[in-house]
Structures are given as structure tokens and as C-alpha cells.
Amino acid sequence: MADKVLVVTGGSRGIGAATCLLAAKRGYQLVVNYTANAAAADAVCAEIRAMGGEAVAVKGDVANPADVDAIFAAADGLGTLVGLVNNAGIVDKAARLDEMSIERLERMMRVNVIGSILCAQAAIRRMSTRHGGKGGGIVNLSSAASKLGSPAYYVDYAASKGAIDTLTVGLALELAGEGIRVNGVRPGIIDTEIHASGGEPDRVAKMSPNLPLGRAGTAEEVAEAVLWLLSDAASYTTGTTLAVTGGRAIQP
Ligand code: NAP
């Protein structure tokens, strides 16, 4: 059985896919979760196997408790869970708050907030020394939006990521004596397909010249931060959210 299993939600594309590939290079065995794009998840798994690693793709919506059970059952099938990357996340079209439907708001909070909490619960039940586990690490994907608030853009998304920041602090303290470190990564403008899904495929090109480092970040640059926080090199780091924003939104 594998001894270093990592669940990455939304591991099929973007930051999640880059995290899976880097994690495999660092010796983790991967559960590559996705919700719709099986071909992308299979491609990530194939690349991991081609480098001699182990990976399984698991379809599931993190906002659905039964799907979360299936994701973690797949992890149990692989071996010992040592980490969770709460990466699955969604945006929606730019809008003012007073224009947002209840359906949009519920979906935003269910996927970005409740989904991360459900996955954290499943990981804690396996990794916490309180439950007979051997400890581990959780990394939650926040966003620069949690600091900027994203006015007239997507305040709902920004608020969901603010909740993630608070989850990271509270959970880190709740689990500090149980062998689990909990940290966050706060990406800025990263070149992935999420911007197209929010109706703005040209967002990266539009924003890049105005960013402090003069360009958008890559998914691989975010993955490096995630893997550092999971690693023993970060053994005294818990409850922090690391900005990977190229200098954007770094004021406390
Ligand atoms: P992305 O390219 O849009 O990829 C999203 C991933 O999440 C895909 O693998 C998708 O699966 C999966 N997913 C979506 N909804 C899901 C659900 N309900 N259950 C399970 N998986 C789901 O996104 P990204 O840009 O890599 O973003 C990853 C994380 O970083 C998100 O939490 C996002 O908020 C955060 N972030 C991104 C940026 C940025 O500029 N890119 C900035 C700040 C924060 P399918 O392939 O099956 O659709």
C-alpha cells in the first residue's frame, strides 16, 4: 500500500493539475479529483504514471457529501492519507452584489466554502492522531480577492475566500495538537482557465501590465508554495496564508 497519499480537489486542470504533477515528483501518490472534465483528469494521471508514480482520477463534486465520501474512499484504497489540498473552486460572471441570484450565491458558498469544509472533515477523520491517524497537512486555496473584496466584480467569490482564510486559522489551532498543520495559499492573477469560466478569457492579458511583478503567475509557481507548505521544510508553519500574488494585495 502507498504511504504518502495526497488528495487534490479540482486536480484535473490549472493550479490543481500543476499541484498533482509536482506532488508526484515529490513522492506523493495522488487522488486527482475532478467534477466534469474526465479527459483532463485522466491526462494528469497518465503523466504521473509515465513518470513512475501512482494516481487515480475520481469524479466528484466537493459540495456533495456522498461524492466527498467517494473521493476519500479512493484515497483509502490507495494507502495512507497524509495530505489534502482544498483547491476546487469556482468564480462566476462579473456582477454587482444586488444582481446576484440566490442560486448563484448558494453554489458559490457550497463549492468554495462547504466543499472545503467537507473535505477537511474527511481528511481529519483519517489523519488526526485523535482518530488514530499519523498526522498530515492541509492546504486551502484562498485568493487575493479575500483581501481586495472584488467590488462590482464578484464580492460573493471574495467573501467565500475570506471564509477560507478564517477556516485556515481556526482549523490550524483546533488541530495543532493532533499532528495536522493547516495553511493557505493566496494566489493573485494566475494564468488558468478559471478566468474564461468567469466570462473573461482575456483577464490575464488585461491585468498583467499592471501587476507589481509585471506579469501573471503560473499554476506551477502556486504549486511550489502548496508543496512547500505540505513538506517537512514547513514543519513549524501552521495557520498562515502565503501570498503568491506577484506583489498584489500584500498589505495586511
Ligand atoms: P480552474 O483552472 O478553473 O480549475 C478548476 C478545477 O476545479 C478543475 O479541476 C475543476 O474540475 C475543479 N472543480 C470545479 N468545481 C468543482 C467541484 N464542485 N468539485 C470538484 N472539483 C471542481 O481553476 P484554477 O484557476 O486552477 O483555480 C484553483 C483554485 O485557486 C480555486 O480555488 C481558485 O479560486 C483559486 N484561485 C485561482 C486564481 C487564478 O487566477 N487562477 C486566483 C486566486 C485563487 P473539471 O476539470 O472537472 O471542471
List the one residue out of 195, 242, 236, 204 whose CA is nearest residue 222: 242
- Residue 19 belongs to a domain: yes
Does residue 165 register a pLDDT over 80? yes
User: What CATH number has the domain bearing residue 122?
Assistant: 3.40.50.720
The finding on whether 33 has its CB within 6 A of some atom of ligand 1 is yes
- Residue 162 belongs to a domain: yes
Cell numbers for 119 = 473535505
| Nearest ligand 1 atom, CA 204 | 40
Domain total of the chain: 1
For position 71, what pLDDT does the model report?
98
Q: Which residues pair with 163 in a beta bridge?
A: none
For the chain, give the mean pLDDT: 98
CA of 212 from ligand 1 middle (Å) equals 24
For position 90, what pLDDT does the model report?
98
Does residue 251 register a pLDDT over 90? no
Evaluate whether 124 touches 173 at the Cβ level (below 8 Å): no
- pTM of the complete model beyond 0.85: yes
CA of 11 from ligand 1 middle (Å) equals 8
- Residue 93 belongs to a domain: yes
Cell numbers for 97 = 452584489
Residue of 28, 153, 157, 236 with catalytic role: 157
- Residue 238 belongs to a domain: yes
- Residue 211 belongs to a domain: yes
For position 2, what pLDDT does the model report?
78
Quick check: is 236 catalytic? no
List the one residue out of 9, 3, 135, 161 whose CA is nearest residue 79: 3
The finding on whether 37 has its CB within 6 A of some atom of ligand 1 is yes
| Nearest ligand 1 atom, CA 88 | 7
For position 252, what pLDDT does the model report?
76
Domain containing 143 equals 5-244
- Residue 201 belongs to a domain: yes
- Residue 124 belongs to a domain: yes
The finding on whether 45 has its CB within 6 A of some atom of ligand 1 is no
Confidence of residue 131 (pLDDT cuts 50, 70, 90): very high
- Residue 230 belongs to a domain: yes
Cα separation of 60 and 77, whole Å? 16
- Which residue matches cell numbers 472534465? 37
The finding on whether 19 has its CB within 6 A of some atom of ligand 1 is no
CA of 130 from ligand 1 middle (Å) equals 31
Confidence of residue 62 (pLDDT cuts 50, 70, 90): very high
Cα separation of 164 and 161, whole Å? 5
The finding on whether 190 has its CB within 6 A of some atom of ligand 1 is yes
CA of 141 from ligand 1 middle (Å) equals 9
Cell numbers for 45 = 494521471
Instruction: Express each pLDDT in 172-193 by its tens digit.
Output: 999 999 999 999 999 999 999 9
Start-to-end Cα distance in the chain:
43
